[in-house]
Chains A and B, each alone.
Chain A
Amino acid sequence: MEVMPKWADVVLIPLISLLLAAILSALVIIGIGEDPIAAVKLMVEGALGSTYGWGYTLYYATNFIFTGLAVSVAFHARLFNIGGEGQAMLGGLGVALVCIYLPWPHWSLALIFASLAGALFGAAWAAIPAYLQARRGSHIVITTIMFNFIAAAVLNYVLVNLMRPKGSMDPASQRFPDAVHLPSFQDMFSTAETALFRGAPVNVTFFVAVLACVAVWLLIWRTRLGYEIRAYGHSETGALYAGISPFRITMIAMLISGGLAGLMAINNVMGEAERLVLNATEGAGFIGIAVALMGRSHPFGVFLAAILFGFLYQGGAELALWTTIPRELIVVIQALVILFTGALDNMVRMPLERLFLWLRKRSG
């Protein structure tokens, strides 16, 4: 018997957790001698008050949609993929190789193949931990953490020794050719009189991210494979009994997860930087964890959570610019969100369940 109605589980608990995280964040801001209300105002102004602000908010959100979906798909199979960061780094390598070493007539073709390459590289980086989990029982959390560090070393080596243009001191690849420049929102939505999204990095990949949300929703809730993934996540023994192969599901779920993380690279590498730099991912792989937890692993929830984190990122940058509050405030908020929506879930859930039981007893 369900103790709580579904809406409480899907909406109420995340909202209370979010509220707790917000209250604690406000206390932190007071603690360092700033005014939380003024800070929120500044963040809203900076992140949502202009098309420029929106341009950055949506740019960050695009990254987080990809990594959030990546973590979500793995969560559905009860696999915790902390390796989104490394998979996104490798995805960046795939995207860069396609953009630099192949001649492209048009950006749309380049986008398709860069997406494939990014997803392929990300999936490949997830494949080894997945295989080790499925066949050798090595804990996927530990192996994916290790693969993040290995990915950083690989990328460092490739950028310093192989892809760096001659004579350049900067550990970064050469610039991508102009032909693969993705249209930004500025290119798409500005008219002759009014320039919208001026200078903001948000670009056409935002729509790819939205498509990815829809695709993941279809996959998880409308296909046999998605059903198998969820069944496996709910009960391994039950899935086995139903003839679902744990090896197959583990591999497929992790490949999709890694592929989605790798796809992020079309936004940050191809869309924004237009060259491959060290630490291009900027921790987006880890934010995917918070986004997936807050979005309850549902694509629509992930979309909303990604927008929220995009807002926090852009707002945090504005705060750092105009006040003495460092950008690391966002890391704290991110930690609190992970803590309350993930680890301390029962702290909110247990009293609520008791409340609903009590209400039911009174009415019944």
Chain B
Amino acid sequence: MDFLTIIQVLDSTIRLATPLLLACLAGLFSERAGIFDIGLEGKMLAAAFFSAAVAAISGSVWLGLLAGIVASLVLAALHGLASITFRGNQLISGVAINFLAAGMTVLIAQDWFKQGGRTPSLLTQGRFGGIELPFAIGPSDAAAYGRPLSELISETNVVQQVYSELISGHSILVYAAFLAVPLTWWILFRTRFGLRLRAVGENPAAVDTAGVSVVGLRYAAVAICGVLCGIAGAYLATALQAGFVKDMTAGRGFIALAALIFAKWRPWHALYACLLFGFLQAVALRYQNIHLGSFVIPVQVMDALPYILTVVILAGFVGKAIPPRAGGEPYVKER
């Protein structure tokens, strides 16, 4: 395995980790505020469809992104209504949202486009293209020299390879996702809003006593979760792939949930966990079975590894994962 191959796998790691990271941060906001959310998958899926659909119809990827965020917000509002206003079971609500998205996306896709539950393939202006950072070798150089990009990159030096292949050339949503990590950290741990949001997930009665609205804070957290899931879904359909296909999230919402537990509900660790799980996906995508001498790791092990790791972490064998204390509990003002 040569150096460039490793860089390519890492590059694909970043692309695959981005939706996980956005969804994971979404779950982080929600669960830190005491609202469990196993509906990340459904919100991403709804956003993926509506972003691709609107981008396909309008030709504007930004309108698509907006539509994706709105769709995800609607489902987030439903989750808020069920789990905050009506104090229902948050887990059941999440399950319902996942099914609602899985069914509605195909239903509407079939009604609008009649292509068997998918959107038409998006053309260039309907997608988020790669951003070429300064001094990086990108498609424009390839066009100028009239040679394939891969050839140009394989001929340059190591630093330029890392810069051009790994750091440059991603869509704007990838950079946004990575910037969201310090931003999330700053909001949660350096602002008054963040302090209250965390408090409402640990001890809502104390927040209520201080005269701050528990319901308002929780709705805010669920809304932020909706926006981030919306971006994650839009990234899937308009940047990672070109259009929506049925069930395209393929369990990513649950991997993000796993990453969230793996990270023990902390932003920077969420980044590491998502990069790890993205790496596993990238390796599984590139190599089917991995041969280590006479020993073969089947591809299914790579598929299952995020879930196995999460169970191990949850079991507390490698450092215990303790969720926010008031998580999953509806808040009732008077007893």
Contact = CB atoms under 8 A, between A and B. Distances in A.
B65 interface: no
B298 interface: yes
Nearest to B86: A346
B111 interface: yes
Contacts of A329: 103, 107
Given A156-B300, A328-B103, A138 B83 contact: no
A125 to B, nearest CB: 12
Given A132-B314, A138-B315, A142-B257, A339 B107 contact: no
Interface stretch (B10-18, B94-102, B185-193): B94-102
A342 B304 contact: no
A328 B106 contact: yes
A342 B99 contact: no
Contact of B298 (A161, A289, A344): A161
B102 A142 contact: no
Interface residues of B, number: 47
A152 B150 CA distance: 36
Contacts of A346: 86-88
Interface string A137-163: 111011101110110011011001100
B38 interface: yes
Contacts of B254: 145-146, 149
Interface in B100-136: 100, 102-104, 106-108, 110-111, 114, 117
Given A33-B111, A141-B38, A328 B311 contact: no
Nearest to A155: B300
Interface string B60-100: 00000000000000000010011100111111110111111
A343 B301 CA distance: 35
Interface stretch (A53-61, A100-108, A172-180, A330-338): A330-338
A333 B304 CA distance: 30
A326 interface: yes
Given A136-B316, A141-B38, A142-B314, A342 B92 contact: yes
Contact of B261 (A142, A328, A347): A142
A335 B93 CA distance: 9
A153 B303 contact: yes
A32 interface: yes
A295 to B, nearest CB: 14
Interface string A186-206: 000000000000000000000
B249 interface: no
B96 A338 contact: yes
B59 interface: no
A331 B102 contact: yes
Nearest 10 CB-CB pairings of A with B: A331-B103, A335-B99, A343-B93, A332-B103, A153-B304, A342-B92, A335-B100, A138-B314, A339-B96, A343-B82
27 contacts: A28-B104, A31-B111, A32-B111, A80-B89, A132-B311, A137-B316, A138-B311, A138-B314, A138-B316, A141-B91, A142-B257, A143-B311, A145-B254, A147-B307, A157-B300, A286-B99, A289-B95, A324-B111, A329-B103, A329-B107, A335-B96, A335-B98, A335-B103, A342-B93, A342-B95, A343-B82, A346-B88
Given A160-B300, A335-B100, 20 more contacts: A32-B108, A139-B314, A139-B323, A143-B311, A145-B38, A146-B311, A154-B304, A324-B111, A326-B106, A326-B110, A328-B102, A330-B103, A335-B96, A342-B92, A342-B93, A343-B83, A344-B82, A345-B89, A346-B88, A347-B86
